[in-house]
Amino acid sequence: MASVAQAIRMALHYGETNLGVKDIFGQDVGAPLGGVFTATQGLKTAWNSPLDERGIIGMAMGIAMGGDKCVAEIQFADYIFNTIDLLKIAGNTLWCTNGQVQLPMVVMTPVGAGIFGSVYHSHSFDAWASRLPGWKIVMPSNPLDAYGLMLAAIKDPNPVLYLKSKALMRHKGDELIPGEPADEKELKAMIDKPVQNAEGWKPRWPDLEEYIVPIGKGKITHAGEHITVVTYSRMVHLCDEVALKLAGEGISVEVIDLRSIYPYDWQMIKSSIEKTGRVLFVNEDTEVTNFGEHLAYRATQELFYQLMARPRVLAGKNLPGIGLHPNLEKNSVPQLNDIETAIREVVAEVP
Amino acid sequence: MSKKTTVKAGRKSAAKKPAKAAAKTAVKTSKKASAKADNFGGLSEDLLLRIHDLMVKSRVLEERLIKIYKAGEAYFWIGGPGEEAFGVPLGLLARKGQGPAYDWFHLHYRCTPTMVALGMNMVDSIRLIMNRATDPSTGGRNFANHYCFPQWNVAPVTSPIEVQYPLACGTAHVQKRFGKKALSIVTGGDAGTAEGDFASALILASRKGQELPVLITVQNNKFGISTPFEGQHGETHIADRAKAFNIRARVINGNDPVETYLALQEEMEYIRKTGNPSFIEAHVSRLYGHSSADGANKKAHLVDPVFTFENRLIDAGILSEKAAKKIWEIYEAEGVAAQEQARTEPVPTPESVWENVYVDSENADWRKF
């Protein structure tokens, strides 16, 4: 099975071969490195930009305005913050021009904790991103979704932020990407640059097929009856693990992988809450102010009389950063036991 | 919205009268000219008169915008009276059209002269400042002079200064790949060069082997809102910063349309020929201050490029005083008529806030997911 990094690489290859992508660029995106997580290795249109996040976003906006499709990368979301006003402009360009100027561009950036990346390699960006009207925002949790959401992002006529979990880059799923060889060693031999003697190396791409995960559509990763847990990205796997454990105790947890932050799949959330009467929102961005709070607010507003317990948000602590030592990181973002405890508390609550 | 304007004119005729009409009158007059001590850099009389005509039109339009603001028919004015001698030649020299085969403009909010030279009607600028739904740039959503004309590759003007510089590198990158020798033009102010985006553009445009066909310009009017040049800059010329990146650079008198025209022509030809960037720092006057925030009153002590050029043309016998007066009158009437026309036009509806948040107006309102 492909890793998330390999899935993104294959999606970008499909994009430059079939969907008109002409530039994939950013810091260290081109040869020789092919991205710090290897997600852009071997791509024919990948090139290295100066170490300048604002230059990267501005250039991407210009390329999109000029009529070409590009995928730009900010090496870590931790460094995207000095581009906020450019992201704001990219998001408002269609609106400000009354529909005249579209910016079909993709910006991808690794987000979140889980790799012991310390203060400046552990930032989340989902709540910030959700305050950028005009952008669509996706956060895949597995390789197949990573592939399908990237193709959807490339095809979308709006600017799309593609937030990829740093901790999931080596994560392998249990579903094959259409066209991917079943043997992961074979895939590695085809598309991973050799560590040694890589001079002259070129990838042999599998015969990939188009596979789209529609932006705005979530997925139920674990069906259940007693509580709805709405999450995305890395936290999906933690929530699924807790759901499996609690199933043995008769606590039936429904886990929704939102996959898209904006637009988000409210109908899926709503249907599930109407079924379970209880809801927990889980993500690792800081708790003040958190995207889960918006969802909890909406759940309260629209489903108040169907709720059996107070909606709850479990998120990262509101701290200036995430410390390097595992004791610090693990006490900053939700862990398995935090999720389990929160689920038990919500399920135990009686009106 | 029923305030009277000061000059009466027929709405229909003035709003639709093309700029060339006034120039035609002037050309006819110029045939009587005899003494031409000033050779005007070899530019033809027709071109000189065309430049003058457009400079006057732009000035009249900007002054009309100020009047509209001061009459309470607009919320804010910001613009570029004093930059006609730079902006008009820039608009005239560009390869105008839509798509990568044509030149791109990444302008700031002092570029009415360039828009007028490209062919923008007065009424479209007035619709913008009066927030009409008919405003072709923003549909009544944005400030004065925040132009957007995709049919001429005019990128939307932004309120944050200097962000347009790296965008110009993006469109230049597309143009270079397209291979039709089109270029991207970016304009901005001297104070804005303190922003990092300015440095980003110098770097992106000049990387060895990856040079971009972009004309980087700075209109140096010696002020950043209220702070003088000396309070913001250590460098002697802003153009010197481009030289550090091996970008060809020059400083010009942007109040002289002849010097500007010749310099722009030379640099644009250089860019088209080599695919390399070029840099022009143009010294200009800021005749009405920064914006309505500092009063928008005329600074009489500054060089007025329009009257200076007009007097040159009259002294040379290319233009008569009578013909010049007529040009001002025609455009003043056009401006008044355009304002009166804009008054009658619809404003954006409240519910239109949800339009064009996303392409095809999908997913704008989360309450409807």
Write out pLDDT tens, residues A20-29.
Answer: 999 999 999 9
> What's the confidence (pLDDT) of residue B37?
66
Please state, in angstroms and as integers, the Cα–Cα distance from residue B147 to each residue in A101, A157, A301, B111, following that order. 12, 22, 41, 9
> What's the confidence (pLDDT) of residue B294?
83
For residue B114 the two structure tokens come to: 């360039």
Which residue among A55, A57, A98 places its CB closest to the CB of B356?
A98
Q: Does B230 touch chain A (CB under 8 A)?
A: no
Q: Which residues of A touch B359 (CB under 8 A)?
A: 94, 99, 102, 157-158
Q: Which residues of B touch A214 (CB under 8 A)?
A: none
Q: What is the 3-state secondary structure (H, E, C) of chain B?
A: CCCCCCCCCCHHHHHHCCCHHHHHHHHHHHCCCCCCCCCHHHCCHHHHHHHHHHHHHHHHHHHHHHHHHHCCCCCCCECCCCCHHHHHHHHHHCCCCCCCCCCEEECCCCCHHHHHHHCCCHHHHHHHHCCCCCCCCCCCCCCCCCCCEHHHCECCCCCCCCCHHHHHHHHHHHHHHHCCCCCEEECCECHHHHCHHHHHHHHHHHCCCCCCCEEEEEEECCEECCEEHHHCCCCCCCHHHHHCCCCEEEEEECCCHHHHHHHHHHHHHHHHHHCCCEEEEEECCCCCCCEHHHCCCCCCCCCCHHHHHHHHHHHCCCCCHHHHHHHHHHHHHHHHHHHHHHHCCCCCCHHHHHCCCCHHHCCCCHHHC
What ipTM was predicted for this assembly?
0.96
| Distance, CA of B47 to CA of B26 (rounded, Å) | 12
> Looking at the predicted structure, is the pLDDT value of residue B4 above 90?
no
Name the helix (H) or strand (E) containing A160.
strand A160-165
**Percent of chain B whose pLDDT exceeds 70:** 90
| Distance, CA of A192 to CA of A204 (rounded, Å) | 9
> Looking at the predicted structure, is the pLDDT value of residue A2 above 70?
yes
CB of B108 closer than 8 Å to CB of B284: no
Q: Report CA torsion sign: A142, A145, A151, A155.
A: negative
Average pLDDT, chain A: 97
> What integer is the mean pLDDT of A57-85?
97
Q: Please tell me which residue in A121, A222, A237, A294 is annotated as part of the active site.
A: A121
| Distance, CA of A276 to CA of B154 (rounded, Å) | 54
Nearest to A31 by CA among A158, A167, A193, A149: A193
The SS3 of residue A127 is: helix
> Looking at the predicted structure, is the pLDDT value of residue B13 above 80?
no
| Cβ-defined contact of B167 to A55 (cutoff 8 Å) | no
Annotated catalytic, A121? yes
Q: Which residues of B touch A86 (CB under 8 A)?
A: 163
Q: For chain B, what is the radius of gyration of the CA atoms? A: 21
B29-59: pLDDT as tens digits = 444 444 466 899 999 999 999 999 999 999 9
| Cβ-defined contact of A58 to B356 (cutoff 8 Å) | no
CB of A227 closer than 8 Å to CB of A347: yes
CB of A159 closer than 8 Å to CB of A105: yes
Q: Which residues of B touch A266 (CB under 8 A)?
A: 366, 369
> What integer is the mean pLDDT of A260-269?
98
Give the strands of the sheet with A279-286, arranged side by side. A219-222, A253-257, A227-231, A279-286, A312-316
| Cβ-defined contact of B369 to A267 (cutoff 8 Å) | yes
Q: Does B179 touch chain A (CB under 8 A)?
A: no
The SS3 of residue A59 is: helix
| Distance, CA of B186 to CA of B168 (rounded, Å) | 6
Read off the pTM. Answer: 0.94
DSSP state of A167: G
| Distance, CA of A163 to CA of A149 (rounded, Å) | 10
| Cβ-defined contact of A62 to B355 (cutoff 8 Å) | no
> What's the confidence (pLDDT) of residue B292?
87
Q: Does A339 touch chain B (CB under 8 A)?
A: no
Q: Which of B7-16, B214-223, B354-363 has the lowest mean pLDDT?
A: B7-16
- Exposed, middle or buried by CB within 10 Å (0-12, 13-18, 19+), for B367? exposed
Q: Does A98 touch chain B (CB under 8 A)?
A: yes
Please state, in angstroms and as integers, the Cα–Cα distance from residue B341 to each residue in B16, B124, B335, following that order. 11, 11, 10
Q: Which of A40-49, A190-199, A304-313 has the lowest mean pLDDT?
A: A190-199
> What's the confidence (pLDDT) of residue B36?
60
| Distance, CA of B209 to CA of B178 (rounded, Å) | 17
Burial A14-42 (b: 16+ CB within 10 A, else e): bbbeeeebbbbbbbbbbbebbbbbbbbbb
> What's the confidence (pLDDT) of residue B16?
38
> What's the confidence (pLDDT) of residue A32?
94
> What integer is the mean pLDDT of B68-92?
96
- Exposed, middle or buried by CB within 10 Å (0-12, 13-18, 19+), for B34? exposed
For residue A348 the two structure tokens come to: 């135990």
| Cβ-defined contact of B171 to A89 (cutoff 8 Å) | no
> Looking at the predicted structure, is the pLDDT value of residue B22 above 60?
no
Which are the contacts of A49, defined by CB distance < 8 A and separation ≥ 6?
A25, A26, A27, A29, A55, A56, A59, A72, B204
| Distance, CA of A338 to CA of A331 (rounded, Å) | 10
Band of pLDDT at residue B5, cut at 50, 70 and 90: very low
| Distance, CA of B284 to CA of B290 (rounded, Å) | 13
DSSP state of A121: S
Which residue among A49, A58, A265 places its CB closest to the CB of B163?
A58
| Cβ-defined contact of B155 to A100 (cutoff 8 Å) | no
Instruction: Report the DSSP beta bridge partners of residue A25.
Output: A47, A72
CB of B164 closer than 8 Å to CB of B108: yes
For residue A310 the two structure tokens come to: 């107070």
> Looking at the predicted structure, is the pLDDT value of residue B3 above 90?
no
A105-151: pLDDT as tens digits = 999 999 999 999 999 999 999 999 999 999 999 999 999 999 999 99
**Percent of chain B whose pLDDT exceeds 90:** 85
